Structure 1
Amino acid sequence: MADEPGSAEERHASWLELFFDLTVVAAAAQIAHRLHTADSIGQVAACGAMFYAVWSVWTTTSVYANVAGERIRQRAVLRTMLGIAIMAASVPGVWPELLPGAHEGVPDGRTAVFVSAFLICRVIASRSAARDGQVITFWPATQSIMAAPWIASLFVPPTVAYWLWGVAIATDIAFSMVGARNPDAIDQMTESARRRQEQQDRRLARRIARLIEGGVSPNRIPAQQTTLLSVAQVERGHLDERLGLFVIIVLGEALAQVVAANTEEVWTPAVIASSLAAFLLLVQLWKLTTLYGFSPAPRTTAPLEPWQALPAHLGVTASIVVIAAGFGALIPEAVEHLHTKDRWFIFGGLALYFLTSILAGLAGRAPLKWFLGWALPCLVVSAALGVFGHPLPAWSLALLAYLVPAWFATYNRLVKKP
């Protein structure tokens, strides 16, 4: 999402925002570790729910920073940063009854800590925007959260809890996507924010009255100030940069996993080939990010609206985490047949990446030839390798995993832009 023509000065991520991003690295690493040991679709979904929680905290804080600009509340961002760090430290102990791979000796209660930190971080972002008088209608999740399912999940068995998480996540995304496009919902959000502001003003007025009645000196009485409400406008260039930086962060964590997989391996030709293929695949994903931005698809229309862009960003970053988990298992087994779950991590992750690209392409009205010649074939080949790739040795699957996005990236070289 590039800046609109005529913008006076392009705004970039601040040092505070870049510092805030560092906590995402730790969280992504911990979630990838748990994902690597997942053995069922339910366990993969549970890891996905944890990733969404971290992503949503990062997103709500980044959206708040986007609309706040120089008025950003530094303490609020640093508190949220601490919250994500607590969530990351809690990941190894979340749902030990449901998810394998928890570190031995991790104290009980980490699930409650994770959920509590998540809810507090979302509240911090919501209140920060409200105090600035900003009503963020282009991504309503920034200013609201369905807390009940998350809280209820602490008092039910894990096999029920992650269904509650799923309901909360689906509602969160649907509310933001539908609410951002619904004029009535936008009016309701604005009216709700106005009522909250009026309540705060009345409480402040009563406090001042009590101080006056108590004989407090006027110089010590806080001035009553009414914050004027306004509908926040997204700064497209800044948001695009923030979302792109998050993708780079996740790619960096994926590269770290590839390196870690090589630290204790004998560097046989198969291991070297697999590692090189994994590195080149990440390079291709990086090139696609620099070419198209965080939504890997060409477009002939205006930049994607936030309600379209943010779900696409979630799909892309989640797919990279899944692919990295697959390569973390592939490299040590380079000459063997890859386990079904690890094969699906790689090619299922690629399929999710291309599916997200197709949806972004539909939203951006990408050319039909791109769909037919690049996006759809890459999606079909990825899914086919996930289903039928068992007879192939792991190192050859790594090479095929690289070749699929390599072809996907040739569109701009082989076809002139419309």
Structure 2
Amino acid sequence: MSEQGTAAEERHASWLELFFDLTVVAAAAQISHRLHGAETVGQVAVCAAMFYAVWSVWTATSVYANVAGERTRRRAVLRTMLGIGVMAAAVPGVWPGLLPEHDDVPHGGSRTIAFTVAFLVCRGIAASSANRDGKVIGFWPATQGVMAAPWIVALFVQTETAYWLWLGGIVADLLFSVMGARNPKALKQRADSVRHQQEQEQRRASWINRLPFGRREDVQVKPPLITVAKVERGHLDERLGLFVIIVLGEALAQVVAANTDLDWNWQVGLASLAAFWLLIQLWQLTTLYGFSPAPRSTTPLEPWAALLAHLVVTGAIVAMAAGLGGLIPDAGEHLETKDRWYLFGGLALYFVISGVAGVIGRVRLRWFLGWQLPCLIASILLAVLADGLPAWTLAIAAAAVPSWFYSYNRLVKG
């Protein structure tokens, strides 16, 4: 028994899961590029919705693999990879009415349909796989279902209405998971739902077996035992951390891509080095604290809260990546307002989550007063007041803020 417990604690991401993560790189790149070109609040909102859709598919699949372990269905994961690939390829043409006028979008609404269908199919694959295994995932119920109606109806209504339907679908998805994870009665309802689905599959299999061409052997199909899935916390934290590293990799790609078509001068070089240092600091914080940027404590976030924090942190890094993509070309000039808000607004969100994680983890007060709050306030002030500064100085400021945040581990012992 103890050997099994030790094996569970030492479980790491499989090769299949790491291969699956590669599709997220493509999706994050496309969304970050679309975000960089956004010119209205509506375009930014659509980028956020698309990121949530990709993140939710990755989360549902990763949570399923977390509870299934060695019984993870390889074909299901590979099919989901294909689905995320379709979503990534569709990103540039989703809601063409919201694209900048100078962009040529000959695909009409076909990319929106492809993105929506792929999203629903991928979520369905994760739900079906967990249900077949008889698992009830109480800590993140969205793994086993999705409110498809808003996404489907959005394909047949006016664009303005469709935006609100997407928002409603996302809010319902998150509320379903948060409320379901915190409500013991919801766990029983979920178990009854899984049992009902398995009974339907059993009746369908029995009906097929009665057909002349469907009979294989005279054995009744029995559904697996319904069990409440237990989270492999070490494995889940590792998966969430790897996702953060993937998104940081996309931010690094933005910095490299921004340098390819520029005449290199000292402003571009200094801004690029500062951007690279910023990403190094965020990487170091991830390796030190995990996906929630706060000192480790004996009171970790609940799984549902950890997933919510992870959504905000990764979304913040995608925003920072878009900001860096605009900062490098304008290194010697004033940074556009939207790019400044992407960069420092992303940093502010990052430190908001660190504060929440610190409160839950009961981190020392001096960490809040000396590191977390100063970094949060500095990020907000730079976003609001740094309009007149040249872009290269903003890059240095952006790198300095997380550098100070990371210094807590060096300056304070114990």
Structure 1 residue 104: Cα displacement: 2.7
Structure 1 residue 160: Cα displacement: 2.2
Alignment pair present for 1:113 and 2:114: yes
- Counterparts of 2:197 and 2:138 in 1: how far apart (Å)? 16
* Residue equivalent to 2:64: 64
Alignment pair present for 1:278 and 2:275: yes
* Residue equivalent to 2:188: 187
Alpha-carbon deviations, 1:334-380, whole Å to 9, x = none?
11111111110111111111112112222222222222221111111
* Residue equivalent to 1:144: 145
Alignment pair present for 1:371 and 2:372: no
- Counterparts of 2:334 and 2:7 in 1: how far apart (Å)? 57
Call closer, same or farther: CA 1:359–1:100 in 2, change over 3 Å.
farther
Given the alignment, which residue of 303, 308, 314 partners 1:306? 303
Given the alignment, which residue of 402, 412, 415 partners 2:412? 415
Given the alignment, which residue of 309, 315, 318 partners 1:318? 315
- Counterparts of 1:103 and 1:265 in 2: how far apart (Å)? 22
Alpha-carbon deviations, 1:12-60, whole Å to 9, x = none?
1111111111111111111111100112222211101000000100110
* Residue equivalent to 2:223: 226
Structure 1 residue 6: Cα displacement: 5.4
Call closer, same or farther: CA 1:195–1:29 in 2, change over 3 Å.
same
Q: Which runs of 5 or more residues in structure 2 are unaligned?
A: none
Call closer, same or farther: CA 1:381–1:101 in 2, change over 3 Å.
farther
SS at match of 1:142: helix
Alpha-carbon deviations, 1:231-279, whole Å to 9, x = none?
0111111111111111111111110110010111111111011000000
Alignment pair present for 1:356 and 2:357: no
Q: Which piece of structure 1 moves more, 170-179 or 342-351?
A: 170-179
Alignment pair present for 1:79 and 2:79: yes
* Alignment check: 8 A CA contact 2:267 2:332 kept: yes
Q: Which piece of structure 1 moves more, 292-301 or 243-252?
A: 292-301
- Paired residue type of 1:156: V
Structure 1 residue 411: Cα displacement: 1.2
Call closer, same or farther: CA 1:218–1:140 in 2, change over 3 Å.
closer
Q: Which piece of structure 1 moves more, 240-249 or 35-44?
A: 35-44
* Residue equivalent to 1:237: 234
Equivalent runs, 1:202-217 vs 2, <5 Å:
202-208=203-209, 210-211=210-211
Instruction: Report the count of equivalent residues.
Output: 410
Alpha-carbon deviations, 1:114-145, whole Å to 9, x = none?
00000000000000000011111110000011
* Residue equivalent to 2:13: 13
* Residue equivalent to 2:33: 33
Call closer, same or farther: CA 1:102–1:229 in 2, change over 3 Å.
farther
Alignment pair present for 1:168 and 2:166: no
- Counterparts of 2:360 and 2:74 in 1: how far apart (Å)? 35
Structure 1 residue 153: Cα displacement: 1.0
- Counterparts of 1:13 and 1:233 in 2: how far apart (Å)? 17
Structure 1 residue 164: Cα displacement: 1.3
- Runs (4+) of structure 1 moved beyond 6 Å? none
Q: Which runs of 5 or more residues in structure 1 are unaligned?
A: none
* Alignment check: 8 A CA contact 1:92 1:102 kept: no
Alignment pair present for 1:394 and 2:391: yes
- Counterparts of 2:288 and 2:296 in 1: how far apart (Å)? 12
- Paired residue type of 1:164: L
Call closer, same or farther: CA 1:416–1:101 in 2, change over 3 Å.
farther
- Paired residue type of 2:274: A
Root-mean-square deviation (CA, aligned residues, Å) is 1.9
Alignment pair present for 1:293 and 2:294: no
* Residue equivalent to 1:130: 131
Structure 1 residue 206: Cα displacement: 3.6
Structure 1 residue 382: Cα displacement: 0.5
- Paired residue type of 2:81: M
- Paired residue type of 2:67: V
Call closer, same or farther: CA 1:395–1:148 in 2, change over 3 Å.
same
TM-score (ref. length: structure 2) = 0.95
* Residue equivalent to 2:159: 158
SS at match of 2:7: coil
Percent identity (aligned): 65
* Alignment check: 8 A CA contact 2:206 2:220 kept: no
